[in-house]
Amino acid sequence: MPSPPRTSHSQKEVVPMRMAIVLALLSVALLPFPALRAETVVVPAEQARLGGPGAALPGGGWNLWSNGVVGEWFEAERDGEIEVVVVAAGTPCLGSWPQSQVWVRTLDGQEPVGPPLSIASRDFRDFAAKARVKKGWFAVLVDFTNDAQAGGEDRNLFLKEIRVTGARRLDRIPSVREACAEGIRRHRMGTLSVRTEPNAPVKVTMLRHEFPFGTAIAHQVWNAPAPVKERYLEILKANFNHAVHENALKWYHTQRHGGEPDYTDAERVLAWCDENGISMRGHCVYWGVEKFVQPWLKSLDDAALRAALEKRGKEVTSRFKGRIAEYDLNNEMIHGDYYAKRLGPGITKEMFLWAKSGDPAARLYVNDYNILSGTDGPRYETHIRELLDRGVPVGGIGCQGHFGGRVDGWHVRATLDRLARFKLPIKITEYDAKGDEASKAESLDTLYRVAFSHPAVEGILMWGFWEGAHWIPQAALWKRDFTPTPAAETYRKLVFQEWWTSFDGRADAAGRCDVPAFFGRHAVESGGKRVEVDLTRKAGQAIVAMAGG
């Protein structure tokens, strides 16, 4: 888009000054967005620094042979509009051509550039669209969304190049840490506006995070020797404000052999959390992966199995109504669903509705693995979309986060961006990571920064913290003797130092002191008075009137 016309010195001598100003203002008003630099950057697809699965084409370009993205980093000198041209071709399968979506990724997430594209040509063609960007860095991503192979046909997307007008190619790829720091400032901090005496000292001390930092709780610790139980609960209370039953609420634990269910362990854990101000989520109402379905359930005929599912769904949510606000409804559905296999896909919606009838306010999550740590993200997206299209009341998206090695922060970020399109809350529900002590600490630092900085994420839970009661002892943050590992120290530095408000200063001459603060509860002291105040993400600001303010 051309830049707004400018009035030259010679024109000023001919056109009266008032008319020149009017014309200039009108020309700017007619532009939908400010025009950015006119240069066009051409990025050969095989040289793109955000490379997806596939291989370089012999004549130049990239064969994106399975679902994934190819993209590049750019920088805009100011807010404005860019034009993106994707030069692409494809091969069909079963009569359908490759589908693609172009995205712009910024600190605020991903936004589509134009409508989805149907690459219905074996020859390279230009596909153009425009997007609004803010000053600073961003990435342009070309997303292949419908890979398929059948009947000897292979649906592939071929990219020749990406052309961007209105921005320059970024010389240095931003680090995950850089991106996260800005995201945290934008999405996890607000302002405490203190009103007090002129020039009075002001002290602000954080007491508790609003953001849920949680862990799975091992119910068997209640049967451990007293010193072990006491130390376990002491660390739990000191480090977490949110929790989930690891096994105590699972159906195979509460009703292993049929008969009446026993919720003793689940109630014991929940009671302790209630007493100590720790909110809980429920895991899980059902778990349809066949090896985890009790033999007595498998022995039922279809009518009896359906009745058992209905009883379970209504019973769990009604029993814990008002005490547990959210549940993983049917765990790991993309990796197996015995109930749908037996009773048909329609049973899934019924299971959600039965749980909702027990507690209409309960938020029901899907929950699965290999999403952040592997390549099942596209399959998960398809699964969620299909559920929503069928009217299943999915209320949230759970990503487990079991990592066998180091965490790829950009992969996690991109996956969260894609899942955020559903406009549902996302939780990291079961984090842990294997590796040596240094890599475990690095992995935790990366995962927590990326998740905490992402606007769609509403909580992070690790899947246990103590080596003596952990499904992967090597991944625990506290050793068997309760000494902290480097990963535990990293966790505490993030949650209770770097992301913890601590302010000691003075009000200005008007008695005002605006303190940037993380969302949560704070103690504010000034003018001989101390008050506690909640700064919420929803409000963004809290005004604190002290003595004389």
CB 502 within 8 A of CB 511: no
Helix (H, G, I), strand (E, B) or coil at 19: helix
- Alpha-carbon distance of 79 to 328, in angstroms, equals 41
**Cα 75 to chain centroid, rounded:** 24
Query: Which residues, including other chains, have CB under 8 Å from residue 481's CB and lie 6 or more apart?
Result: none
Which residue bears the tokens 């599912």?
Answer: 309
C-alpha distances (whole Å) from 468 to each of 215, 218, 340, 476, 547 are 15, 10, 36, 9, 50
Range list of β-strands (E), 198-313: 201-209, 213-217, 242-245, 279-287
Kind of pairing between the strands at 279-287 and 242-245:
parallel
C-alpha distances (whole Å) from 49 to each of 84, 105, 170 are 17, 14, 11
C-alpha distances (whole Å) from 73 to each of 51, 158, 170, 210, 278 are 12, 20, 6, 34, 42
Q: What angle do CA 522, 526, 529 make, to 5 degrees?
A: 85
Instruction: Choose among 430, 449, 345: nearest CA to 107.
Output: 449
CB 96 within 8 A of CB 148: yes
Q: Which residues are catalytic?
A: 332, 430
Buried-exposed string 460-479: b where 16+ CB fall within 10 A, e elsewhere: bbbbbbbbbbbeeeebbbbe
- Alpha-carbon distance of 286 to 18, in angstroms, equals 73
**9: enclosing H helix or E strand:** helix 9-14
- Alpha-carbon distance of 485 to 480, in angstroms, equals 11
- Alpha-carbon distance of 311 to 225, in angstroms, equals 36
Indicate the length of the chain as a whole number. Answer: 549
Dihedral over Cα of 453, 455, 456, 460: its sign: positive
Instruction: Choose among 322, 310, 41: nearest CA to 164.
Output: 41
Tokens of 48: 């793109």
Instruction: Choose among 282, 437, 273: nearest CA to 363.
Output: 282
Q: What angle do CA 385, 387, 393 make, to 5 degrees?
A: 115
Tokens of 350: 């019924």
Instruction: Choose among 546, 522, 548: nearest CA to 191.
Output: 522
